[in-house]
């Protein structure tokens, strides 16, 4: 479980104009909330935040005026085209506290090559201690036959991790390849029997 420290600055200006200016200066507006605490409106360096968010379910130690808040990204807003960070919501967590998070599932092993692997759900929800969130979970699909599926309940969870998703939620499915081959009738060239026969290569000479 990754844990990264980022410095935050308390926001004193609000509104769309202030947010645009912050983003122009390489900052990301953010809010920290949870545990009944008053929400804290801050800005974070976009460069540092972008690097940190490349890891799923990363814990962020936000340092504000010398005080550190342990947080977990809750909602991340990016520009639909440019994909730059526009805003982030961070929820306060406590060490030893359990949280519900979505964790990526990676399929491992070789399935039946007569079928096509479909990732129906790429994540499952689990309940886990905030500082022990796994980066990903593995699902063994070795020998999985075409036309069959594996479910959230088939994912082997590490100790201390509890499944929150429905056990019957499909994670991967092996679809069957089409076995129907369209038969194409052979094309037979038509011969025009009324056409004149070609002239003989040689003519008989009179004796």
Q: Is 0.75 surpassed by the pTM of this model?
A: no
pLDDT at 81: 87
- Cβ neighbours around 131 below 10 Å, total: 15
Question: Which stretch of 9-23, 100-114, 169-183 has the lowest confidence by average pLDDT?
Answer: 169-183
**CA 11 to each of CA 38, 45, 103, 177, 179: distance values in angstroms, whole numbers, following the listed order:** 14, 13, 32, 56, 62
Question: Do residues 89 and 134 both lie within one domain?
Answer: no
Looking at residue 95, the DSSP 8-state letter turns out to be T
Question: Which stretch of 8-12, 87-91, 199-203 has the lowest confidence by average pLDDT?
Answer: 199-203
> Is residue 182 assigned to a domain?
no
Question: Do residues 65 and 126 both lie within one domain?
Answer: no
On the 0-12 / 13-18 / 19+ scale of CB atoms within 10 A, 185 is exposed
pLDDT tens-digit readout, 53-93 = 998 889 999 999 999 999 999 999 998 888 889 999 999 99
Tell me the pLDDT band of 180, cut-offs 50, 70 and 90.
Answer: very low
Question: Do residues 87 and 133 both lie within one domain?
Answer: no
Tell me the pLDDT band of 97, cut-offs 50, 70 and 90.
Answer: very high
- Percentage of residues of the chain with pLDDT beyond 70: 85
Enclosing domain of residue 144: 99-176
Domain count within the chain: 2
- Judge whether residue 98 has pLDDT over 60: yes
**CA 174 to each of CA 5, 114, 125: distance values in angstroms, whole numbers, following the listed order:** 42, 9, 22
> Is residue 28 assigned to a domain?
yes
Question: Do residues 15 and 66 both lie within one domain?
Answer: yes
- Judge whether residue 179 has pLDDT over 60: no
Which of 45, 73, 93 corresponds to the end of one domain?
93
Measured distance CA(82)–CA(141) in Å, rounded: 36
> Is residue 201 assigned to a domain?
no
Question: Do residues 109 and 163 both lie within one domain?
Answer: yes
- Judge whether residue 185 has pLDDT over 80: no
Which of 93, 120, 151 corresponds to the end of one domain?
93
> Is residue 193 assigned to a domain?
no
> Is residue 181 assigned to a domain?
no
In sequence order, which ranges of 121-182 are alpha helices (DSSP H)?
none
Q: Please state, rounded to an integer, the average pLDDT across all residues of the chain.
A: 87
pLDDT at 207: 46
Question: Do residues 66 and 109 both lie within one domain?
Answer: no
Strand 137-140 vs strand 115-119: parallel, antiparallel, or unpaired? unpaired
Question: Do residues 20 and 40 both lie within one domain?
Answer: yes
Question: Do residues 9 and 84 both lie within one domain?
Answer: yes
């Amino acid at each position: 479980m990754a844990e990264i420290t980022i410095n935050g600055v308390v926001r004193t200006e609000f509104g769309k104009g202030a947010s645009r200016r912050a983003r122009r200066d390489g900052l990301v507006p953010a809010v920290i909330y949870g545990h009944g605490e008053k929400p804290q409106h801050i800005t974070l360096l976009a460069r540092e935040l972008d690097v940190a968010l490349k890891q799923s379910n990363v814990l962020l130690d936000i340092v504000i005026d010398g005080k550190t808040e342990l947080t977990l990204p809750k909602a991340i807003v990016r520009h639909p085209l440019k994909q730059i960070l526009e805003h982030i919501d961070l929820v306060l967590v406590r060490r030893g506290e359990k949280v519900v998070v979505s964790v990526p599932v990676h399929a491992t092993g070789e399935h039946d090559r007569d079928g096509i692997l479909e990732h129906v759900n790429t994540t499952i929800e689990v309940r886990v201690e905030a500082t022990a969130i796994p980066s990903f979970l593995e699902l063994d699909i070795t020998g999985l036959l075409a036309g069959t599926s594996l479910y959230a309940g088939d994912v082997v969870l590490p100790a201390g991790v509890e499944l929150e998703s429905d056990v019957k939620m499909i994670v991967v499915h092996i679809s069957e390849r089409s076995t129907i081959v369209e038969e194409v009738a052979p094309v037979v060239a038509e011969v025009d029997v009324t056409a004149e026969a070609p002239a003989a290569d040689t003519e008989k000479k009179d004796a």
